[in-house]
Chains A and B, each alone.
Chain A
Amino acid sequence: MKKETLRQEAAVELGGLERHIKNLNHRLSRSDLIPLLQYTQDSYGYLPKPALEFISRSTRIPMSRIFGVASFYSQFSFVPKGKFTIKVCVGTACHVRGADKVKSRIGELLGVKDGETTADYRFTLESVACLGTCALGPIVVIGSSKKAEGCCGGEPVKQALSLGDKFYGQVSPEKVQEILGRYTKEEPILSGAGG
């Protein structure tokens, strides 16, 4: 179970969400809640409180229930995530092939623990259980979100689904640095750490 709270923050741009709801073109019901939360998560990279309040007003679902649902599912986050989310599969099949070592190597290089985001909001490290490609284990998936750069507001991205998830199969601790290097083109944030 996740222990999370909503961030208190200033207004965010809600125009995109408003248009999205208008385009759905039907009377909102309770079963629209999860798709709306997914849209919000994809647009902002997390669930900003003002957006949830807007959903609450539009669907007439109380905030307490929205919070209950949003905190139940692992896809949703109440804090901004890094530009790239690194998911390391630690499911049984990947575990027996050495996923633990891969995860700790990534954490060591980035200086973050499971679930944390680097200070520059470039990477978030997460462990997940089984991504359904067990033949290729250990698996690392690096997903990029255009919006999720620790910022909020602005126009939501067009695509409804998270952008460009990239799968890396049969990852060994030795390969980690090279893979991460592909995502750190500007500044060498990996230098000095580990080796």
Chain B
Amino acid sequence: MPEPILSRNFSKKNAHTLGVYIQGGGYEALKKALTEMKPEQIIQEVDKSGLKGRGGAGFPVGKKWSFIPKEAPKPKYLVINADEGEPGTYKDRPIMECDPHAVVEGAIITCFAVGIHWAGIYVRGEYVKSIERLEGAINEAYAKGYLGKNILETGFDLDMVVHRGAGAYICGEETGLLESFEGKKGQPRMKPPFPAIVGLFQGPTVINNVESIAAIPHIVKNGGEWFNGLGAPGIGGGVKLFPVSGHVKKPGVYELPMGTPLREIIYKHAGGIRGDKKLKAVIPGGASAPVLKPEEIDVPMEYANLAKIGSMMGSGAVIVMDEDTDLVKTLRVLMCFYAHESCGKCTPCREGTGWMAKIIKRIEKGEGESADLDTIVSIANGIRGRTLCPLGDAAVGPALSFVTKFRQEFEDYIKVGAG
């Protein structure tokens, strides 16, 4: 196993404190970035690293930064998305709890590269310990002169704050998050204008995921090409944290090269299926990703490869289901989740998710009708692509894939009722 990068501090004692972080080479990248590099050089290195947004959309980070206008009449902002709410996803939490200074250091370098003087991190309200650790790290960084006025005597100023979320899945969507930051209901905005042009408080805004930001110090320190080379051969893009849950022997967060085959993650790293049962289905990228069948798991875990087989990388959260899993009940849980979390702004999503949940509940109770499955497909197609934000599509992913790939199981439920 190569040296871990993003997870190197996960099991180190007191790694969340400034002293231990500096001992491990922390804030060297900050010094290098601020004193030896020009902002454009930093953006170039991040570009070369092949780092793609780790929140789920997978947009190249360097490219996102380059969209921010150099001269803007309004202040520019960095918003770090730590509203980790996608079921099955728990990779940002250990970063914030065990390595909060990596987030702070990454944020300072990002702001320096893009010319930003205010950074806010939006953390899920449920993540109490993450909030405490981040606030602690920010206070330490202020005391040491890494935040505040005239950082490292370079004349660069930056303020950073933690914002505690109030409990809404939709706030993980970037424009919903901005609305929430401004004290409103977290309902997504119409795009364009994209946040890079009109974002927080109408200013140009960079929005990055925690894991993306935590990778920045390593990229600056060791170079973009180095990071890119850490990915699987021919795929690149660095390393990524894969949270694995469900029916595996060793659930946990695994740091692996981008492009590691899903089979290897499940059987080698997570130890295989609990009780040596047979695999039935895998959700490869958080609850919103279309489900995969056992014969599809040789796919490399990487954005383009997963998209090719009709699923998605998302947050990289792998949820494994063994042969005893009741997929009808699982889909009911998923559909009730999306129906509950739909913010209500776009009609197709607000109504569609509710109807899908109702139909699947009916099937579960053994009261389904033979036309129900086609109705779900038709509702799903009515939602897809017709909403402002990806929540609608996120509900469609599991609905369509469960019903089409495991149709027999659903039909059995309709014919003979629950197991």
Contacts and interface: CB of A to CB of B under 8 A. Distances in A.
Interface in A92-139: 92-93, 95-97, 100, 128-137
B168 interface: yes
B88 A95 contact: no
A38 B340 CA distance: 21
A135 B333 contact: no
A188 interface: no
Contacts of A69: 183-185
Contacts of B246: 93, 96-97, 134
Given A38-B125, A134-B251, A161-B131, A76 B85 contact: no
B171 to A, nearest CB: 8
A162 interface: yes
B243 A92 contact: no
Q: How large is the interface on A (under 10, 10 to 19, 20 to 34, 35 or more residues)?
A: 35 or more
Given A128-B126, A130-B87, A73 B183 contact: no
B347 to A, nearest CB: 14
A37 B283 CA distance: 36
Q: How large is the interface on B (under 10, 10 to 19, 20 to 34, 35 or more residues)?
A: 35 or more
Contact of A72 (B87, B168, B181): B168
A34 interface: yes
Interface string B243-271: 11111000111000000000000000000
A93 B87 contact: yes
A95 B328 CA distance: 12
Contact of A134 (B245, B333, B341): B245
A88 interface: no
A182 interface: no
Contacts of B87: 91-93, 129-130, 134
Given A93-B246, A96-B247, A96-B325, A129 B168 contact: no
A134 to B, nearest CB: 4
Given A75-B167, A130-B88, A137-B245, A92 B126 contact: no
A30 interface: yes
> B166, B246, B251 — which one has the most chain A CB atoms within 10 A of its CB?
B166
A19 to B, nearest CB: 20
B251 A32 contact: no
B370 interface: no
A30 B88 contact: no
Interface in B323-350: 325, 329-330, 333-334, 337, 340-341, 343-344
B43 interface: no
A1 interface: yes
A90 interface: yes
Given A91-B88, A129-B169, A132-B89, A32 B183 contact: yes
Contact of B329 (A75, A100, A128, A134): A100
Nearest to B166: A73
Contacts of A35: 163-164
A74 B128 contact: no
> A72, A76, A92 — which one has the most chain B CB atoms within 10 A of its CB?
A92
A52 B213 CA distance: 37
B87 to A, nearest CB: 4
A68 interface: yes
Interface string A18-37: 00000000000111111101
Given A92-B319, A135-B245, A130 B86 contact: yes
B206 interface: no
A132 B84 contact: yes
Given A31-B183, A132-B124, 18 more contacts: A29-B183, A31-B181, A33-B183, A69-B184, A72-B168, A92-B319, A128-B126, A129-B85, A132-B84, A132-B90, A132-B92, A132-B93, A133-B90, A134-B319, A135-B245, A135-B252, A136-B251, A137-B251
7 contacts: A35-B163, A72-B168, A75-B167, A91-B337, A96-B330, A134-B89, A135-B253
Interface of B: 84-90, 92-93, 124-128, 131-132, 163-164, 166-169, 180-186, 243-247, 251-253, 283, 287, 317, 319, 321, 325, 329-330, 333-334, 337, 340-341, 343-344
Interface of A: 1, 29-35, 37-38, 68-69, 72-76, 90-93, 95-97, 100, 128-137, 161-162, 165
